[in-house]
Amino acid sequence: MIGVLFVCHGNICRSTMAESVFSDMVRRRGLAERFHISSAATHSDELGSPPHYGTCRKLQEQNIPIVQHRARLLTRADGELYDFIIGMDEENLRHMRRILGAAYEAKISLLLDYTSHSRAIADPWYTGNFDATYNDVNEGCEAFLAWIEQENRL
């Protein structure tokens, strides 16, 4: 089983969107039983909150089931549980490294690192642009799954 944890600031916009998109992607390809997918936050701002309504609206527009989720904090124990711990921007990476410690550095990446143009995914909490966030998340998830398949990790 491949453990994938998506991480963002509050765990209600980008990381829950990525969790839903990637979960749907692997389900459609008949690979769901090979993955354990979740998401977490680097800050406590939204603990216990459901996915943001903008995230839900965008996923519904795309006919992607929204995962049942409540925002939770990333913990050091997640470093042991997950094979890939994927952040959305450089600030996330800094906090992920602080929380997880050096022992799990090799598991940490940005979602768009798996594409040909690594960059941050803008936080729609601030931009209000859930369309752009979805496009980036979808591109990153497609590239990440292709990378896993190419590396023969399935």
Q: What is the pLDDT of residues 18-55, one digit of tens each?
A: 999 999 999 999 999 999 999 999 999 999 999 999 99
Decide if pLDDT at 98 tops 70. yes
Percent of the chain with pLDDT over 70: 99
Can you give the pLDDT at residue 151? Answer: 85
Q: Domain residues for 17?
A: 2-150
What is the model's pLDDT at position 19? Answer: 98
Query: Residue 154: its pLDDT value, please?
Result: 65
123 noted as active-site residue: yes
Task: Check 78, 89, 123, 136 and give the catalytic one.
Answer: 123
Q: In the prediction, which pLDDT does 152 show?
A: 74
- Contact (CB, 8 A) for 108 and 28: no
Q: Is 8 a catalytic residue?
A: yes
Q: Among residues 8, 24, 136, 141, which one is catalytic?
A: 8
- Exposure string of 13-28, with b = 16+ CB inside 10 Å and e = fewer, is bbbbbbbbbbbbbbee
Number of domains comprising the chain: 1
Would strands 2-8 and 84-87 be described as parallel, antiparallel, or unpaired?
A: parallel
The reply to whether 14 belongs to the active site is: yes
Backbone angles phi, psi at 62, to 5 degrees: -90, 5
CATH number of the structural domain spanning residue 77: 3.40.50.2300
Task: Please tell me which residue in 14, 78, 89, 141 is annotated as part of the active site.
Answer: 14
pTM as predicted: 0.96
